Amino acid sequence: MYLRWDVAYRPGKLRAVGYREGKEVAICMHETASAPSALKLVCDERDLSAGKDRIAHVAITVVDAKGLFVPYANNEVSIEVRGPARLLGMENGDPIDTTNYKLSHRRTFNGMALAILEVESKRGAITMTASAPSLGRASCECRAGED
């Protein structure tokens, strides 16, 4: 089961409030993003085990000047990895994108892409940097430790 409201598009803020017995119990707000301005990276884990079986996922999103997610962004992003890890590939979820996933660059699809790293058997700091024309650079760091 699901509930759906069709709302005409208008830029601005959409605020939904949930009530229980007349008391406000939940709020969800979405704001229209402006033009793409930067990249944001989030690693699924900060402390990783070293070894061939360890994989890290780094979510790449395009944001505007306020840090709001830009869902229509379609920017080419390049990846560089430093430290005891290597880039296994990139994905964007676009069902018609036939770009080789093992390349170190990919377009975002609906404002997002995913980088997949393999942590090597050494310990140390891992830095992944993403860059895109007109969006600059962004980095995230994690650490490879002992198994």
* Cβ-based neighbour number of residue 119 at 10 Å: 26
Q: Going by DSSP bridges, is the β-strand pair 47-49/136-145 parallel, antiparallel, or unpaired?
A: parallel
Confidence at residue 119, expressed as pLDDT on a 0 to 100 scale? 86
| pTM (2 d.p.) | 0.84
Give bridge partners of residue 129 from the DSSP assignment: 80, 139
90-106 tens-digit pLDDT? 999 999 999 999 999 99
* Cβ-based neighbour number of residue 68 at 10 Å: 14
Confidence at residue 87, expressed as pLDDT on a 0 to 100 scale? 95
